Amino acid sequence: MTASLRAPVQSSVEKWAWAAVVANTVIVLTGGLVRLTGSGLGCPTWPRCTDNSFVPHRELGSHGVIEFGNRMLTYVLVAVVVGTFIAVRRWSGSTREQRRLALVIALGVPFQAVIGGISVLTDLNPWVVSLHLILSMLLVATSILLVFRVRGVASGGLVRAATGRVISMYVVLWVVVYLGTVVTGSGPHAGDAKAPRNGLDPHVMSHVHAASVYVLVVLTALLCFELRKFPEGRLALLLLGVELAQGTIGFVQYFTDLPIALVAAHLVGGAVLIATGTFVLLAVVSSSLAPGTGETSRPARPTRSR
């Protein structure tokens, strides 16, 4: 690991970028477990666990341990993103964009911790908790962008319509994820028995969320058909598979009264969905804009014979 920071090469930098993706996904899981076990106020204040201590005491019980453990995992995430930043900075082949992306990811983690602290100080206000999750998803997407940039832009040509389709799909994808947080904010897993809810009907919002999932699946299926003759088509099929798996978990958890294990799996699935969707977006857009022999290249003007 130290060698990958002293004299990093492209492969080691890419591994660090993937580590940032994984670490930001794991923190989504552990944060979700805090909420699902009712431990959101296990440490009732922030940045200390209590008014007099940074660590939980016996009276806080298991909830205090769970919440404090999630806070400690943030330091692991910090170590990963700082390592990623150093690897990118010391890599001789890095670009200004890559260095900026690594900096954004590194600064995003402490900012995310502050939002988490605000959620505790507001007694787990569901809109703040929703923002807390969305910021984690943004860090996952940014880390995927860094992975893609370190790998290098693909070459080739795609139909221009595919670019519009994938952008539409990606916008709907984020709508789906956000509506999922709204459903959570109206449901039973508040993170603490006294935590407020957003006041919306969870059953109505579940149907609204499901409708957005249907739109996403249709757009992705159309994208798969459009890209069937291109290498990017395999990525689109992978995304469709992730969507169907995530949708299946969502339906099962809805009809089984939201068991903790399935809700936790759904949270991780959301991060995987964002990561896969971001990669598909980048692959299609970069390929459609790259020079090549596909349908995006302009034909040369015929020359007149003299």
Full DSSP string of 220-270: HHHHHHHTTTSTHHHHHHHHHHHHHHHHHHHHHHHHTT--HHHHHHHHHHH
- Structural Rg of the chain based on CA atoms: 22
Go through the chain and tell me how many residues it has: 306
Average pLDDT, the chain: 86
Closest listed residue to residue 119, CA positions, set 204, 219, 45: 45
Q: What is the pLDDT of residue 304?
A: 44
Q: How confident is the model at residue 199 (pLDDT cuts 50, 70, 90)?
A: confident
- Report whether pLDDT(191) > 80: no
Is residue 234 pLDDT above 70, yes or no?
yes
More confident residue, 120 or 79: 79
**pLDDT over threshold 80, residue 197:** yes
Q: Per the structure block, which two tokens stand in for 290?
A: 């790259």
What sign results for the dihedral spanned by CA atoms 76, 82, 88, 92? Answer: negative
d(CA 184, CA 200): 10
Question: What pLDDT, on a 0 to 100 scale, did the predictor assign at position 153?
Answer: 59
Instruction: Report whether 123 contacts 110 (CB < 8 A).
Output: no
pLDDT of residue 2: 67
d(CA 156, CA 285): 11
Give the pLDDT score at 85. 96
Per the CB < 8 A criterion, the answer to whether 9 and 91 are in contact is yes
Task: Give the span between the Cα atoms of 88 and 23, in whole angstroms.
Answer: 17
With 0-12 / 13-18 / 19 or more C-beta atoms within 10 angstroms meaning exposed / middle / buried, residue 123 is: middle
- The angle that helices 202-226 and 232-255 make with each other, rounded to 10 degrees, is 160
pLDDT tens-digit readout, 273-304: 999 999 999 999 886 554 443 443 333 344 44
Burial class (CB in 10 A: 0-12, 13-18, 19+), 15: middle
Structure tokens at 133: 């999750």
Cα–Cα nearest to 36, from 57, 7, 66: 66
pLDDT 10s digits, 82-139: 999 999 999 999 999 999 999 999 999 999 889 988 988 888 898 999 999 999 999 9
Q: What residue has token string 């991060």? A: 271
The pLDDT value recorded for residue 306 is 38
Kindly report the pTM of this predicted structure.
Answer: 0.86
With a pLDDT cut of 90, the percent of the chain lying above it is: 55
pLDDT over 60 (residue 232)? yes
Give the whole-angstrom CA distance, residue 62 versus residue 239. Answer: 38
The single-letter DSSP state of residue 124 is S
The pLDDT score that the predictor gives to residue 281 is: 94
pLDDT at 242 over 90: yes
